[in-house]
Amino acid sequence: MNPTAKNQRDDDGAQDFALMKRIACGDESAFRALLERHQDSVVGTVAKMLGNPSDAEDIAQQVFLRVWQHAKSYRPDAKFTTYLFTITRNLVFNETRRRSRKKEIPLDTGDSSGNHEPGDDPHRQPDASLLEAELRIAVDQAITSLPETQRLAVILRRYENLSYEEIAVVLDLSVSAVKSQLFRARSSLREALAGYLND
């Protein structure tokens, strides 16, 4: 990590800690500020984990409710974002287990049957923006199909830029186990996206 990025993260961590101290005293404006700083990351992570953006805001609300409830017991042993994503992990894993017990089938976000809309010419070359959108959907579906620990490791590394050490804290694993999870996930993703990568 370059020194500028490290200084920015240190500044962010100091701001988060200062906000948490105020939240521990019941400061609602500090809570709103913390929410604004991190809500998008939490909602995005939950949406990618569950493959269902409509549920993401409900789970994110539960995450921040726990931050508010436990502010007095918060200790900055790790970065605040690590603490935040650990809460997120617990709630998301609980939700995925609840869904698996109910055997819910996620809604398909695209037509994988290869059928074309009426009037579509299958031989017409799609433009770059369509290909990019199709690839984005394929990547999201491939990530959603990963086992939950691999999925969260990929999301935290790729989208949230967490270090291996931070991911290890969130997932309660060793750094080498995190690297192993990411290696397996990347292998699965390469296989799932082989058709796009070969093109």
Domain ranges for the chain, please list them.
1-104, 127-199
The per-residue pLDDT for 2 is 58
| CATH C-level class of 127-199 | mainly alpha
The per-residue pLDDT for 1 is 54
Digit-coded pLDDT (tens) for 131-167: 778 888 888 889 989 999 999 999 999 999 999 999 9
SS (H, E, C) the chain: CCHHHHHHHHHHHHHHHHHHHHHHCCCHHHHHHHHHHHHHHHHHHHHHHHCCHHHHHHHHHHHHHHHHHCHHHCCCCCCHHHHHHHHHHHHHHHHHHHHHHHCCCCCCCCCCCCCCCCCCCCCCCCCHHHHHHHHHHHHHHHHHCCCHHHHHHHHHHHCCCCCHHHHHHHHCCCHHHHHHHHHHHHHHHHHHCHHHHHC
- The least confident of 50-54, 167-171, 191-195 is 50-54
Digit-coded pLDDT (tens) for 110-127: 444 444 444 445 455 556
The per-residue pLDDT for 132 is 78
pTM for the structure as a whole: 0.78
Instruction: Give 1-104's CATH code, choosing from 3.40.605.10, 3.90.1330.10, 1.25.40.850, 1.10.1740.10.
Output: 1.10.1740.10
The per-residue pLDDT for 22 is 97
> How many residues are there in the chain?
199
Q: Do domains 1-104 and 127-199 have the same CATH topology?
A: no
Digit-coded pLDDT (tens) for 59-97: 999 999 999 999 999 988 888 999 999 999 999 999 988
